[in-house]
Amino acid sequence: MARLFFALQPDARGRQAIACSLPDDLAAARPLPESNLHVTLVFLGELDGDQETAVRAVADEIAASPFALCFSELAYWPRSRARVLVPEEVPPAAQALRAELARRLREAQLPFDARIWHPHLTVARRARRGGGELRAPITIAFNDFVLMRSRTEPAGAVYEPVGRWSLPGSSGVGGVG
């Protein structure tokens, strides 16, 4: 069994943009390690090997376009005691990717959290209310999505990409005439 979710993972440039824009005082006892930064696309949960194989087949079928998210707000979510980057709007291509994954997972009768998607990027846990504001909005381009495995270690959750699928049109070759 593995605890799995689909996610968007900022690349090195995106991670640097985040690091440069976060305030010094995050009011956080535990900032997230850079490699854990992600936007959950679809949370799947504990899957067995057959289900994971089926989930990978679903991802193979996805035909969605790349997009960028512009994070303009550093919010505090009291229920999770997290500080999160929230995009100022969800572009249609991002919504379409989430919708296509959900539709195909449903068709394949695979379990996932089907509640409304609120894209966000957690930058700190065990935070207090307060702390500084973003220095500047952060725009991050996403040209692929990943299947992440989540493990709980003594120091906290660790996420590891175990699959990656590019979004068509992001290769820089070909293109639409």
- Residues forming the site for ligand ATP (CB under 6 A): 3, 5, 40, 43, 113, 150, 152, 157
Q: What's the closest the beta carbon of residue 152 comes to ligand ATP, in angstroms?
A: 5
What's the min distance (Å) between Cβ of 86 and ligand ATP? 13
* Nearer to ligand ATP among residue 5 and residue 145 (C-beta): 5
* Closer of 43 and 67 to ligand ATP (Cβ): 43
* Minimum CB–partner distance for residue 43 and ligand ATP (Å): 3
Q: Which is nearer to ligand ATP, 11 or 160 (CB)?
A: 160
Burial class (CB in 10 A: 0-12, 13-18, 19+), 143: middle
> CB-based contacts of 158: which residues, under 8 Å, 6+ apart?
36, 150, 151, 152
Residue of 19, 7, 8 lying closest to 138 (CA atoms): 19
Quote the radius of gyration of the chain (alpha carbons, Å): 16
SS3 99: helix
Taking the complex as a whole, the smallest distance from the CB of residue 62 to ligand ATP amounts, in Å, to 19
> What are 41's two structure tokens?
């696309």
Give the residue with the Cβ less far from ligand ATP, 22 or 39.
39
